[in-house]
């Protein structure tokens, strides 16, 4: 398979995966773009792996885990005409934003490997072996990340319900 065809096929899922993982769609696009650039440079080696899709997800996870080290490279784009943002162009996204913010807040309390493991399991529907390959760790470590992460999430949800 050619890189262009592969990347076109994988791009939407990778961006969704990175967006859930990072909680920031713009950052997700940057992470995926960086991963694709790196994959293109080594496409012969990547394409020869048993699961190039998982290899690419591993690159996305590694990019996500190290993005703070490169925070100084990020830039802000100035928009001169902000009036277009004042218009209601789409239906009210309040529900979607609330769900997104709740998910981001819940995941924020977990370690980055726990976040990655939980997103891979429940959002990407990956099995332990695939998650271990993406995270570059043992199966037991994957199970530990998921178990501990879910335990933290359950405790948080219980506390939120008791407070409400």
- Domains of the chain, each with CATH number or no CATH: 1-72 (no CATH), 93-164 (1.10.10.10)
Contacts for 53-57: CB closer than 8 Å, 24+ residues apart: 53/10, 54/130, 54/133, 54/134, 56/10, 56/14, 57/14, 57/17, 57/120, 57/124, 57/134
Residue 72, pLDDT > 50, answer no
Q: Specify the pLDDT at position 160.
A: 77
Query: For 36-58, what is the mean pLDDT?
Result: 93
Neighbours of 116 (CB within 10 A): 27
Contact predicate 132/139, CB 8 Å: yes
Neighbours of 6 (CB within 10 A): 19
Question: Which position has the higher pLDDT, 35 or 77?
Answer: 35
Confidence grade of residue 106 (pLDDT, cut at 50, 70, 90)? confident
């Amino acid at each position: 398979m050619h890189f262009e065809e592969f990347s076109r096929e994988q791009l939407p899922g990778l961006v969704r995966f990175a967006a859930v993982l990072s909680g920031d769609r713009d950052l997700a696009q940057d992470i995926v773009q960086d991963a694709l650039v790196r994959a293109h440079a080594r496409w012969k080696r990547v394409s020869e792996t048993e699961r190039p899709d998982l290899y690419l997800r591993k690159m996305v996870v590694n990019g996500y885990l190290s993005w703070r080290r490169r925070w100084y490279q990020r830039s802000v784009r100035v928009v001169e005409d902000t009036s277009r943002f004042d218009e209601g162009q789409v239906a009210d996204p309040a529900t979607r934003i609330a769900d997104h913010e709740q998910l981001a807040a819940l995941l924020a309390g977990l370690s980055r490997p726990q976040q990655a493991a939980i997103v891979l399991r429940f959002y990407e529907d990956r099995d332990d072996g695939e998650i271990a390959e993406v995270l570059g760790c043992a199966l037991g470590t994957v199970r530990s990340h998921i178990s501990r992460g879910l335990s933290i999430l359950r405790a948080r949800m219980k506390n939120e319900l008791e407070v409400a």
